[in-house]
A and B are shown apart, each in its own frame.
Chain A
Amino acid sequence: MDFEDSPEEAAFRAQVRAWIKANAPRHLEAELKTAGFADNGIRSTDPLAACRDWQRKKYEAGWACLHWPKEYGGGGYQPIQRVIFGQEEGIYASLSGPFGIGQGMCGPTLMAWAAEEHKQRYLPPLASGEEIWCQLFSEPASGSDLAGLRTRAEPAADGSGDWIINGQKIWTSGAHRSEFGLLITRTDPSVPKHKGLTMFFLDMRSPGVEVRPIKQANGQSEFNEVYFTDVRIPDSQRLGAVGQGWEVSLTTLMNERLSIGSGMSLGFPELFAFCMEAEIDGRPAVDDSAVRSRLATYAVRQSGLKYTGMRAITALSKGQTPGPENSIGKLVAGAAMQELAMFALDLQGAAGVEMGDDQPLQGRFQKMLMRSPATRIEGGSDEILRNIIGERVLGLPGDVRVDKTVAFRDIPTSGRQKA
């Protein structure tokens, strides 16, 4: 056992390190360190432009989308090399935020399902950051039950073969700045819900697309609602066959859980530092046995996630596929962040109620408290993740589904219950 690179990995790391050192936007480093939720910390220039500059630079040097084939704008590298690049990129990796969903989820879906000319047209600008993509899946009435979605796609009456889209999506990250979107729709309500879906991609500037930011419970706006009113999509932008949308969406979601779950921080180092400063009865909080017990519990979760990640990297380094243990990442991190924030505020006492930059660690725990409910829901809720672990890792049977064989239009819904 060791934490060392193999000779090939070390050589690759040295190459990456030299390039990052020579090219990274070091004038932004201080600002990036002030990043919060939904905010990359950049104030001195347009935050999105700063992201695009760094992405383009990486693209031109062959460091964008390292795991993609070179012909589509990627680097053609091994998974372990992608991990090493990420480690060396360090804080500058946060500049990739706006491209994460496009490159992490939409790109692989296009790679698997799009026509060759579309891959050549759309993948390179997605890799370079020139074009941003969003994922139009969740709806007000279908979150965890994604296959219950209602946005309709119907053949155009003019016989052109185009499709006409009507409906609403929600929780779409980055829709307001996206050029393109991956859109799942219902094309046949007369068959069971999983069978009547079809996937498309569309130009987000198409007539009839309206993007409205959502004001979240924490006051920020990271997500949008997207409304579709008679939006026209050419049939050539269909991904997979009509009715095959569910299968296509699984490609996307598989990639979502991989990208969101990796390397999440619980905020433990910040809590630990705070407990060294904060006092209970005139002594450092960290001297208190109850505080120690809580801290230890968070410490072993943080450390357990860290070394679970390293076990996955070990597998990649040996050219193997990581085991299912990585599925625990977001489940552990989301709940821990929320508990940890509540605990830190408890130690702050009555003064902890104030949200503001003059609070300990610039109010980080207050912000964490207010953002953490979303972490436990987005990209697969805690409950969905437990189902996945239970069914795919432990091999337990699926739940009984009363709607599985029923025509979609006959399924009881919140506004349409059976007597």
Chain B
Amino acid sequence: MNLDFSDDQKALQDQVRRFLAERCTSAAVRRIVESDETHDRDLYAGLAEMGVLGAAIPEAYGGVGLSKLELCLFAEELGRVIAPVPVSSSIYLAAEFLLLAGSEAQKTSWLPKLAAGEIVGTFALTEGTGRTTPDKVKASVRNGRLTGTKVAVPDGAAADLAVVAARHGTGEGADGISLYLVDLRGPGVERTVLTTLDPSRKAATFTFKDAPAERLGGEGDGWHVAGQVMDRAAILLAFEQVGGSDRALEMARDYALDRMAFGRPIGSFQAIKHMLADMYVSATLARSNCYYAAWALSTDAAELPVAAATARVSATQSFQHCAKNNIQTHGGMGFTWAFDCHLYYRRSNALALSLGSLSTWESLLIERLRGGNAAVA
């Protein structure tokens, strides 16, 4: 039995933590939040240089060739400091799409650039409000040209390359969906940067009109491949959420030790203490579920779909719980712009909606348990 990361993996995690402590301070996050900058380019370049971006990309494609386990731990660190960089869109999603479904030529031309941070990738799926089901995908490709609209594309402001889910013909349902690579700097692409809950990572809406699009993977495989990649990305996002949970809990704990009221530290009041204990419980459950999912991800286990949904539901609940009660613990100060509590609250709620909202993953988890690809216990 070994449900833990190795000492070597933890040492790498520690390096990344120290790097981020220095380079991704509150001031650095706020610079992005309070400006039109799409992301922290210096930080992103630094992460590329450290090998964080290329960690799980094979060396043949310009990566470092470590495993998904290292990437999980790096994700935790990025989440802990709510890093204002597009790692999840570019690496957990775009690079994973290329690795899973890309042709040799596509992998060779794009993966080294993603690993080096030279370009930013993303995944464009959603077209409107509500849970995305196959019938809601209307964007379509004719003769290698994409037309349609994609909304709230994560890191859309920073992205150079998108994997787009679109219809390849008139067929309806999931089988009519394929994936396409679209150069967002090319013709036929109109980008509108959005004002969102979490301006530390800027989303955008894209209107495509006859934009050149190259198919990624087999015709009609789009929905299936997207599901596989989203499961994998969900695990990495869950690690970001666990990192964020831990940091929000630490902030609340530190404030509860420091802040005096009625002649004593507020952390000595059970109302505060018990709230923090419950945050610890949520964060611990999420972390344990994430370790299970990390195992499934790194071994490509049959349980991966259940493990991914479990980790995602648990970590979403945990980060939302910890971030909102971090504000509550801080009282009025927690609702000021000057304190960082709102940055975590923003990130926790934006992540909860990213890649399928909580209710979507809850439903997926139950469908999968029912399908019986893991023991119900």
Residue-by-residue, is B358-377 near A (CB-CB < 8 Å gives 1, otherwise 0)?
01011101100110000011
Q: List residues of A (276-300) whose CB comes within 8 Å of B's CBs.
A: 276, 286, 289, 292-293, 295-297, 299-300
Q: Give every chain B residue within 8 A of A331 (Cβ-Cβ).
A: 277, 281
B341: interface (CB < 8 Å):
no
> Whose C-beta in chain B lies nearest to the C-beta of A302?
B377
- The closest CB in chain A to the CB of B292 belongs to A307
Interface residues of A in 179-213 (CB under 8 A from B): none
Do the beta carbons of B1 and A296 come within 8 Å of each other? no
Are A269 and B376 touching (Cβ within 8 A)? yes
Counting contact residues on chain A (CB < 8 A from B), the size range is: 35 or more
The reply on A57 being an interface residue by CB < 8 A is no
Instruction: Return the chain B residue nearest A313 by Cβ.
Output: B1
| Nearest chain B CB to A329 CB, angstrom units | 10
- Say yes or no: A308-B285 contact (C-beta < 8 A), given A297-B317, A390-B267: yes
Q: Are B288 and A301 in contact (CB under 8 A)?
A: no
Using Cβ atoms and an 8 Å threshold, which residues of chain A touch B285? 300-301, 304-305, 308, 328, 332
Residues of the A chain whose Cβ atoms lie less than 8 Å from the Cβ of B2 = 1-4, 314, 317
Q: Are B284 and A304 in contact (CB under 8 A)?
A: yes
**Interface residue ranges of A1-51 to B (CB < 8 Å):** 1-5, 9
Within the complex, the shortest CB–CB distance from B132 to chain A, in Å, comes to: 16
A398 in contact (CB, < 8 A): yes
Q: Which residue of B lies closest to A390 (CB)?
A: B273
Minimum distance in angstroms from A394 CB to a CB of chain B: 5
Chain B residues closer than 8 Å to A302, beta-carbon distance = 377
Q: Among residues 92 to 138 in chain B, which have CB atoms less than 8 Å away from a CB atom of chain A?
A: none
Within 8 A of A (CB), among B286-305: 286-289, 291-292, 294-295, 298-299
* Neighbour of B277 across the interface among A3, A286, A394, CB < 8 A: A394
Residues on A with C-beta less than 8 A from B36 are: none
Q: Which of B1, B3, B313, B362 has the most CB of A within 10 A?
A: B1
Contact B1 A297 (CB under 8 A): no
Given A303-B310, A311-B3, A314-B3, answer yes or no on A389-B362 (Cβ-Cβ < 8 Å).
no
Q: Using Cβ atoms and an 8 Å threshold, which residues of chain B touch A395?
A: 253, 257
| Complex Cα spacing A273 to B366, Å | 12
Q: Is A383 at the interface (CB under 8 A from chain B)?
A: yes
**Chain A proximity mask over B258-271: 1 for CB below 8 Å, otherwise 0:** 00000011011110
Assess whether A390 is in contact with B295, with CB atoms less than 8 Å apart.
Answer: no
- Pair A389/B281 contact, Cβ less than 8 Å: yes
Indicate if A171 sits at the interface (CB-CB under 8 A).
no
Take A1-B291, A304-B314 as given contacts and tell me if A390 and B377 are in contact as well, using a CB distance cutoff of 8 Å: no
Give the chain A neighbours of B370 by CB distance below 8 A: 276, 286
Q: Which interface residue of B253, B281, B287, B317 has the most chain A CB atoms within 10 A?
A: B281
Contact in complex: A396, B359 (CB < 8 Å): no
The answer to whether A299 and B365 touch (CB under 8 A), given A1-B2, A306-B377, A398-B268, is yes
Smallest CB separation, A359 vs chain B (Å): 21
Residues of B within 8 A of A273 (CB): 376
Give Cα distance in the complex from A390 to B329, angstroms. 14
B256: CB under 8 A from chain A?
A: yes
The answer on a CB contact under 8 Å between A296 and B362 is yes
B253 pairs with A325, CB closer than 8 A = no
Question: Are A310 and B276 in contact (CB-based, < 8 A)?
Answer: no
Q: Is B278 an interface residue (CB 8 A)?
A: yes
User: B5 in the interface, Cβ–Cβ < 8 Å?
Assistant: yes
**Residue in chain B with minimal CB distance to A308:** B288
- Say which residue of B1, B278, B281, B317 sits within 8 Å of A314 (CB atoms): B1
> Closest CB of chain B to A4's CB: distance in Å?
7
Pair A399/B268 contact, Cβ less than 8 Å: yes
In the complex, whether B280 has a CB less than 8 A from a CB of chain A is yes
> If A297-B362, A331-B281, A396-B256 touch, does A311 touch B4 (CB 8 Å cutoff)?
yes
B274 at the interface (CB under 8 A from A): yes
Known: A305-B285, A325-B284, A396-B268. A300 touches B310 (CB 8 A): yes
Residue B69 is within 8 A (CB to CB) of chain A in the complex: yes
Q: In the bound complex, do residue B253 and residue A394 qualify as a contact, i.e. CB atoms below 8 Å apart?
A: yes
Q: How far is the CA of A311 from the CA of B286 in the complex (A)?
A: 13
Do the beta carbons of A268 and B3 come within 8 Å of each other?
no
Kindly provide the distance from the CB of A2 to the nearest chain B CB, expressed in whole angstroms.
5
Contacts of A292 in B (CB 8 A): 362-363, 365-366
With known contacts A3-B1, A390-B276, A395-B253, A311–B288 Cβ distance under 8 A: yes
Q: Can you list 27 A-B contacts (CB < 8 A)?
A: A1-B3, A1-B69, A4-B2, A286-B366, A292-B366, A293-B362, A295-B366, A299-B376, A300-B289, A300-B314, A303-B289, A303-B292, A304-B289, A307-B291, A311-B3, A313-B1, A314-B2, A317-B2, A383-B274, A385-B277, A386-B270, A386-B273, A390-B274, A390-B277, A393-B277, A394-B249, A397-B264
Counting from the closest, the 7 A-B pairs by CB-CB distance are A304-B285, A296-B362, A390-B273, A307-B288, A396-B267, A386-B277, A389-B277
Besides A305-B288, A398-B268, 12 new A-B residue pairs in contact (Cβ under 8 A), listed by A number: A1-B3, A3-B295, A292-B365, A293-B359, A295-B366, A299-B369, A302-B377, A307-B3, A308-B285, A394-B277, A397-B268, A400-B268
